[in-house]
Amino acid sequence: SGDVLAVGAPNDAKVYLFERSGGMFAPLKTLTPELGDGGSFGASVSFQGSTLFVGSPTNSDGKFYSFSATDNW
């Protein structure tokens, strides 16, 4: 979203956030699901304004997570 890039790594159940700074992207934060709730977390990522949605499609419930920039992800 703007100056933040999200890269999903479902095999590792992580989403890596990078922030643009001076024309380059630098690591910002690594997002993970709730403990014991991997389920291909990060298989899909989508920004809507300052909110990031992360899909976890193989979770038994087929979950998605939301993270807000205003809450420091």
Write out the H or E segment, with its range, that includes residue 53.
strand 51-56
* Whether 13 contacts 32, CB under 8 Å: yes
Q: Which amino acid is at 40?
A: S
Computed over every residue of the chain, the mean pLDDT equals: 89
Query: Does the pTM exceed 0.85?
Result: yes
Highest average pLDDT, of 7-16, 34-43, 59-68, comes from 7-16
